[in-house]
Structure 1
Amino acid sequence: MEDKVYTAADLKRRERANRAMFWTMIRGAILRRRSRAIMAVIASLVGAATLFVLVMVCIVVPAQMTEEMRAYGANLVVTSNQTGATENGIQKDMVEHTTEMVRATGFGETHATYRYDTVRVNSASYQMAGINPNEVRSMNKFWDVTGSWPSAENQVLIGTDVAERLSVKIGQSITVGYVEDDAVNTILDTEGTRMQVVGTVSTGGNEDSMLYVTNATLDALTGQNGQSGQNGQSRGADVIEYSSEASGADLDKLVTNINDMKSMNVTAQAVSKISQANASIIAMLTTLFWIISLVIVALTLVGVSTTMTSIVSQRRNEIGLRKALGASNRSIAVEFYVESALYGVAGGLLGVLVGSGVAWVLIRTVFDRETSVNVGLGAACVAVAALIAVVASILPVRKASRIDPAVVLREE
């Protein structure tokens, strides 16, 4: 008897028929065991949703923590070397140049300049800072200010220690004197400028023992209002404080870049207490979230694996019959893997939808931030859910491949 010769068209029809039969068997297996299929989908759904929420939080938390830490003041301080370009303080153009270097790192920043002078109040010496109130208020949100910030000439904001020592309250006035040469400062000298106390500040730090006025008020007090100092320049700032979003290695690199510019005649220094705390807290929280994510993945593996083991046990007779009819272990394994992957994809899609809603509510209510749909993250979670489902099926599939058709048929 001659062997039948199959044409290319016959092979294509046969391939289409086999493919149709394959998907028919997959569909039948899912529909006949809907309860098990739903359990597998739910296991993937919970895993994908939790993973999506955790990763979204991991994306949001570092930005949120950095923003919160920035509220505790500067993490970068630039001071004048009192030589060369900064011999008479850090001038406006140098402040702008330094700020451009900070912004060039790609991180956001806020900054404030301070000019310090020693003044007398009731013949006692205090340090007074000339500031831009809007800059300082924007950067130092942790300052507890009672009353208002100085906004007009001869208004002063004083630290709580100064207020207690002078026994003055908001609304009262103090006489502030300035003598450029401390050697001629007479203890009994009470001359000076009357300034109104418009507010008090409490931080628990050095700020409590200082006085703050606008730069214009300090210029007028020190006799530099409209005048020029050394090199024809008016007195500049002594310190620029930056609250930068840069941290860790990025902040260290920024400090190095500024200090390497010798012609700027300034010295940059990172405030390690804030920058290190920021980095360590973010690292700790991120590590915690990833550990939880791994636990969720492991639980999802167990859930899907248990469900697939149950499905294999229920289909034991069917598998034995198919193997007796000539089905290979590979074809049976592929069928189970595809079925598991479908459970994973379905659960992943539903999980991403649920996770998106939970993440939106969580980030908006807990972290008070807006968030948008992250399509890339959603696709990754679906892919991970499908992969987990396939990996979870490895042991059940091996169990299916060891089924002896002769034993199964004998039992029938």
Structure 2
Amino acid sequence: MFWTMIRGAVIRRRSRAAMAIIASLVGAATLFVLIMVCLVVPAQMTEEMRAYGANLVVTSNQTGVTENGIQKDMVEHTTEMMTATGFSQTHATYRYETVRVNSASYQMAGIDSSEVKSMNQFWDVTGQWPTKTNQVLIGTDVAERLSVKIGQSITVGYVDDNSTGTILDTDGTRMQIVGTVSTGGNEDSMLYVTTDTLNKLTGKERGVDAIEYSSQATGDDLTKLVNNINDMRSMNVTAQAVSKISTANASIITMLTTLFWIISIVIVALTLVGVSTTMTSIVSQRRNEIGLRKALGASNRSIAVEFYVESALYGVVGGILGVLAGVGVSEILITTVFDRAVELNVWIMLVCVAAASLIAVVASIIPVHKASQINPAVVLREE
């Protein structure tokens, strides 16, 4: 009998029921899309921020096991500590030496071009990266100062840090300029060669001076990574977060999260108003029916339960339809705007349906209270 009454109430007032369902549909769809976007955007932003360089740098303390630079096994150990946290990362190593070109001192870095290119995608490189012996990539400031262009050669002499500044290789080494780099930073005043080229230039092999990491870890997770590495004093290295990258990333994520909650509150409020208005109208239309049922002995509780169940049904139906609509909208939005694949989460879908149902029930509290206040004697007298 209970479900028969519910079905009859819905069928007789199909237009009102449709309005309540539409209100729940819009709320659930918007909420689902917002959640999907807020899951995708931080990941997208983190990935894009990683293209702007390192957010964690590990440097040699020049003592103990790193007295002669960070050796290969130590690089691998540090990288294992990074990946063990579950955050993906890319890294690049740098060995720095002071060299001379035309009697002027410059800093040269020995690198693995593929590593540095992968991590520093914001570098504006004209020409090629150095991949062969005696190929050099120079900063735009260096190119301007030396008045050289891509394809020309320069003579590079090595300066020992422990010497008085004299060129040890008096003849120098001829290197071909294969490209120029512009970043607006210190990179513009440096020279880059392969590690093998730098080893041959200096006549000695040693470890690297710095490892730069671009990790997905942000905020407290990134701080924890830094602390874990620094707590390993036997490693003789120092880790520090690059604040301009990590802070910007954390700020963007915080801003998006805050925006999500503000919009979600607005959506919940609008859905509450829409469902509450519809239920108030339904109660008003069923005023005579309610009065008659109360005159026949129906309790306020039984009437309230009927309205709450009816509202919950509107919320469930609207929530399901809203989630289905939200799946389509979020897929179009995320693939076209953020260029990412949509990974549907069943739990998010269920949460949105449950939220739509709960909002519908909460929105019915005031209309149901009004229904319980109907005086059957007054209603029957009017009839």
Tell me if TM exceeds 0.5.
yes
1:219 aligns with 2:229: no
Say whether 1:155 aligns with 2:135.
yes
| Root-mean-square deviation (Å) | 1.3
Correspondent of 1:165 among 117, 140, 145: 145
2:265 equivalent to 1:294? yes
Deviates more, 1:39-48 or 1:59-68: 59-68
Q: Which amino acid aligns with 1:390?
A: V
Structure 1 gap ranges (5+): 1-20, 225-233
Name the counterpart of 1:272.
243
Q: Tell me how far apart the structure 2 counterparts of residues 293 and 146 of structure 1 sit (CA, whole Å).
A: 46
How many angstroms apart in 1 are the aligned matches of 2:165 and 2:66?
27
Structure 1 residue 342: Cα displacement: 0.4
Q: Which residue of 1 aligns with 2:337?
A: 366
**CA displacement 1:286-330 (0-9 Å, x = unmatched):** 111111011001100000000000000111111111111111111
Q: SS of the counterpart of 1:183?
A: coil
What is aligned with 1:345?
Answer: 316
Match of 1:110 among 86, 90, 108: 90
What does residue range 324-335 of structure 1 map to in structure 2 within 5 Å?
324-335=295-306
Alignment-derived partner of residue 228 in structure 1: none
The offset of 1:280, in angstroms, is 1.4
Distance 1:72 1:108 in 2: 16
1:141 corresponds to which letter in structure 2? Q
Asked whether 1:395 is paired with 2:353, we answer no
Which residue of structure 2 lines up, in the alignment, with residue 196 of structure 1? Answer: 176
Contact 2:315 2:358 in 1 (8 A): yes
Question: Which segments of structure 1 move beyond 4 Å, counting only runs of 4 or more?
Answer: none
2:34 matched to 1:54?
yes
List aligned pairs for 1:12-411, cutoff 5 A: 21-180=1-160, 181-183=162-164, 185=166, 191-224=171-204, 234-411=205-382
CA contact (8 A) 1:123 1:190 kept: no
Aligned residue pairs, count: 382
Please give the secondary structure, in 1, of the residue aligned with 2:125: strand
TM-score (norm 2): 0.98
CA distance in structure 2 between the partners assigned to 1:115 and 1:184 by the alignment: 19
CA positional deviation for 1:195: 0.8
Residues in 1 aligned to 2:211 and 2:42: alpha-carbon distance in whole angstroms: 25
| Structure 2 residue identity aligned to 1:185 | T
Residue type of the alignment partner of 2:197: T
Contact kept? 2:69, 2:209, Cα under 8 Å = yes
Aligned residue type for 2:171? E
Please name the residue that 1:3 is paired with.
Answer: none
1-structure distance, mates of 2:219, 2:18: 47
How far apart are the structure 1 equivalents of 2:206 and 2:17? 77
Aligned to 2:342, what secondary structure does the other structure show? Answer: coil
How big is each residue's C-alpha offset from its partner over 1:185-224, in whole Å with a ceiling of 9 and x where there is no partner? Answer: 169x973111111111000000000000000111111112
C-alpha distance in 1, partners of 2:170/2:254? 55
Q: Distance in 2 between matches of 1:409 and 1:255?
A: 77
- Residue 168 of structure 1 deviates from its aligned partner by 0.8
Aligned residue for 2:164, secondary structure, equals helix
Q: Is the 8 A contact 1:122 1:190 kept in 2?
A: no
Give the structure-1-normalised TM-score: 0.91
Task: State which structure, 1 or 2, has the greater radius of gyration over its C-alpha atoms.
Answer: 1
Contact kept, 8 Å, 1:193 with 1:221, in 2: the verdict is: yes
Contact 1:80–1:238 (CA<8 Å) still a contact in 2?
A: yes
| Aligned equivalents of 1:318, 1:262: Cα separation in 2 | 80
CA offset digits 1:85-105 (Å, max 9, x no partner):
011110100000000011111
What is the DSSP-based 3-state SS (H/G/I as helix, E as strand, rest coil) of the residue aligned with 1:235? coil
Equivalent position amino acid for 2:372 in 1: S
Q: Distance in 2 between matches of 1:258 and 1:328?
A: 68
CA distance 1:202–1:184, shift in 2 (3 Å): closer
Contact 1:45 1:348 in 2 (8 A): yes
Question: Structure 1 CA distance, aligned partners of 2:159 and 2:17?
Answer: 86
Amino acid at match of 2:84: A
* C-alpha distance in structure 1 between counterparts of 2:231 and 2:264, whole Å: 43
CA distance in 2, matches of 1:372, 1:185: 61
Cα shift readout 1:225-255 (whole Å, capped 9, x = no counterpart): xxxxxxxxx3110000001111111111111
